[in-house]
Structure 1
Amino acid sequence: RGYIEKDWGRSFPEAWVWMQSSNFDHAGTSFMLSIATIPWLGKSFTGCLCAFLCKGELHRFTTYKGVRIKRVDTSVDRIAVELKQREFTIHVDARKTSGAQLISPVQGSMSGKIDESLTSEIRLKVNEGSTLLFEGTGTNSGLEAVGKLKLKD
Structure 2
Amino acid sequence: MSGIASDAQLFEDHFRVERLSEPKYDRVDRIYCKSIDGSIDMSLDINKELFPCKVDDELHVALASSLHYDGHRDEDETRQGWRDLAKAGSSESTLADMFDYVCYGKIYKFEDAEDGQNIKAYISFGGLLMSLEGPYKKLTPLRVDYVYLLVRRG
How high is the TM-score relative to the length of structure 1?
0.37
How high is the TM-score relative to the length of structure 2?
0.36
Of structures 1 and 2, the one with the larger relative CO (CA 8 A, separation 6+) is: 2
More helix by share: 2
More strand by share: 1
